Structure 1
Amino acid sequence: MKSNTLAILILAYCILVACTRTSPNAQLVQADSLMQKFPDSALRFLQKIRPEELNSLEDRAYHALLLTEVKDKNFIQQTEDSQIRIAVQYYDSIKDIPMQAKSYYYWGCIRRDQNNHPEALKKFFTAITHAQNISDNKLAGYIYNNIANLYLLQRLNEQADSIYQITERLAIQEKDSNLLADVLSQRGMIDINRGKEYYSEAEQKILLAFKISRHIAQRNLMAKTAYSLSLLYGRMNMGKEAVEFAKLSLNNQDNVKMLYRGYLLLGDAYYKTVQYDSALIYLNKALYSRDHSTKAGIYMRLADIAQKQGKLEQALEMERKYSAYLDSAQQKQQGAAIVITEKNILIQRKQSEFKTNLGQLYYYITTGTAFFLALFLVLLKCYKKKVIYYKQKEIEMGKKLEEVLRQKNEQISFLQKEIALHHYSQTEKQTLKEELHILKTERQALLKESYEHSEVCVKMKRIIQSYKKTDKSNERFDEEDWKQLIAETDIRWNDITIRLAAKYPLSQDEIYLCCLHLTDIPTSHFRYLMECSRDAIYKKGKRILEQKMKCTDKSISLREFLEQFL
């Protein structure tokens, strides 16, 4: 009994633990709330939290993510990824997609700071996949921006600009002024690299970015856009403006890493305004930079100044250092590695999608095939029923028409005999003749209806409609069809083809043309059935009238002549 009670208590405890979800540490939530507007305060707050205060895996992962994020926002270069790995492993294990997106994004930022651009690109692509799955367009914008920055660093300008355009659309959609200003500034830099003909476009983009950064009072963004403007005006030989914006960039720069590039920019601007002493001050300040590309630019300018001042030995020494640092910077270029990484990522993604969807594909193919086969069989059965129904209707209609025609013919024959054999008064004869005329008219209408429902007439209409729609037809009017047309014409018009052939020396083709003229088909459509030009049809009709039928009246047509012959 005691063992049963103990088992129940243990089971109840397990259920309680499983169903209870601990809420995140309140201090972490508070630090997260400070992240966007006060990243420096958030950093100090997080640094005060002691490890023993983080009681759960969730808290430790959340703390690791926030600490990585806040350092990135405070422009602290991170080369160690042990913290962010804690977050990635935890959020991957519980499949928390929003947090997975952020974790992989900041892991990519660390790889970027390590100058391991191919690995950074892998992390960013993983992050963008998660962000798109939850439609987090704001985060997606920042991820795309970082991807484009990596391309731009490797001078893959076209690829960078295409990604920046996506980022720009997302920034506008999310009304993110910070991101929009940053993107416009970067796109302006691409235009600068394209050459003089693009300087005007570059100026428009960067001035708009500078205006936005001033409006939102974002110091680092102002520093970045002012830097871009100074670089542009330096290229445009507007030295005064280049110096002004270079100073503005330095005054607003909080990022130490960017500070040395700012010194180089201001030194370069002073050099272009022939203020060599001022240029030397800032160029020497910039020498503390560890970036080989920046140092190459510094030594290039120092060599130029030494040469201008007649210090040839110093100029040669500066040029030697310039070449050394330039070679080193070029060796660090990872453009080819990034392109290979991108291809590998796309291949892996496609393979993963293929494996994931293979089962579904088989299911959809099997289900779809079965469905369409069943649908086809049903439609085929319906079609056959419909064909049989219409054929029966045609047969019934044909029989009715034949019966009515037989009756009309008998009535006409009877009236003709009555008029010929009996001596009726003039009034009675006139009445009988009128009755006979009505019967003949009704008979003609029945014959017309019978002709219009005939197979040959229906086929002629199909061929004509096909030519009118597509200028071609899969069917053609063959010899059997012409024989059927002659038979139908003779039924309708009292053996007219026999009478025409007896009176005029007409060829087979000329008989065919006469039959077509006795239908209701326009003359312009005859060419579709006789497979010749419209002009040939008119010439043939004229030749029949003039040479075969000896008709001298030029105003009469073949159709009119045939109607008189009836």
Structure 2
Amino acid sequence: MNKYLFFIFLFIGGGFVSCKQTNSDVELLEQVERYVEVYPDSAMQLLNLLQYPEKLHGKERADYALLLTQILDKNYLDSLQSDSLIKIAVDYYKGSGDYVKAGKSYYYLGKTLVVKGKLSEAMEAFLEALAFLKETTEYKLLGLLSEHIGYLNLGQGMSEQSIGNYRQSIYYYELAGDKIGEIYGCRNVARGYLAEQNNDSARWYVNKGLSLLPDTTTQVKSSLLHVLGLIAKSEKRYSQAIDFFVSAIRSNINTNDGLRYYLSLGYTYMDIGKFALAEKCFRHCMGAKDVFISSGAYNYLYLLKKEECSYKEALLYKEKSDSILEVVSNDKLRNQLLALQKKYEAEKLIMENRQIKLEKENQTYLYLFIVLFISGLGFCVIKKYKKKNIRNIEALRKNEKTIEEYLYKIARLEQKEESEQEAKKETIGKLNRKILDLTLENKKIRNSSSVEALFVLEELKQGRLVAERMTASERQSIFDFLDLVYANFIFRIKTDFDVTKGELLLAALIKLDFSTKQLMIVFDCEVKSIYKSKQRLKSHLRLNKDDSLEQMIAFY
């Protein structure tokens, strides 16, 4: 009897300790939440004090997932490579009634999807966050959301929509009292108007941003001066453009951005024929850590040497630029494959651990049941039939034999599970080898298919090739390239709609972000013809008058 009382007290004591541990975890998470916005490094140290985060569940588990994502992002650690952590918070908060945390969860999910290149899904996540936060006073977060939506729209060539998003971000930053956010918003609106070739509006917003700046050198000041330089360059006021670019370089504190300003300065020098100064600027950027900047520098040197009729040097620079871009493409593909492999291995390890844990729990419960059953049965038999010793001995022997049979069956089951696990591991290994072979084959196909298409597209952009002079193979190379990159985009358009070859080429170039000016060059026609061609394509794609052709093609 004393033993049973001991077990009861043990269970009660364990429950008390568990409740006490849970309360301390909740207090720690609340403290981290108070520090995360202002002192993210201290918040990270506090969150590391949590001893068993894997034992959290419900709201505490969602809070931990959201706070850890915020902390890693604010401390500039690699937090946005996997969306599995933030999805824990999203799944919990979207139906919890806590609109602020639901909005934050969707905001960080959107940032994660942007890093992974899933732009349409990222836009959906940002819009969900906006819907949750619309009636709250989280003005700074609303400003950030509007800003990120603007980035996505501008990246899809929808500069008019992006301008509206950036203006909305300025409004929210004003409500939040975030002056630096307002200045960045002004810069973003200016860039949007610059893309629209509306220099007057772009200049107005740059000057507004500069008027809001304190009397100190900040990173945003350099970017504002750079925009002014681009405006002056587009208006052929080259001396003023050079002054603005030089001022941007001098006030800059970010090495990467500074090199971009050198590229703009060098290109301006090249426009006015000062090739020596232009070459000096481009050579300054050749050793940049950012491969796109170094590739751009080599490409500009290629154009410069071509202008100087030094064709041998020009070809060398062109090959160097293309090789850098090819390395970037290969590295990106390799990183994607590694990420997929790590995700698969992690999921496999989790499943195996869960299976082992479940097997151990089942065995523990089975043994506990057998022990309790034998103990209870023996206690009842001994008490009730104390005088019938022979019968008791037979009953005990029978029970012991039954126990042996149970144990034998358990051993058989365990042996069977081990053999099944070995078979599963062998099957998984074969599948992994097949995945690797197919991946290598896909890489070869992409490399061979993309080279000709990229060359043809570059020729079209530079005006050295027009649609009328394109061969069937050149046209088909572009279509094959789009099918590879955008999940059979051309094949689906041809299957779902009745379009001509010219309209199919127009849809492909719109998908590749060709501007109206570039389309005029490609089709060798006026802007009215481009407009009419787009209207015919809209009708064949069964779009209404008010529907956006570019948006439909971007998200199709």
Task: Normalising by structure 2, report the TM-score.
Answer: 0.48
Task: Normalising by structure 1, report the TM-score.
Answer: 0.48
Q: Of the two, which has the highest radius of gyration?
A: 1
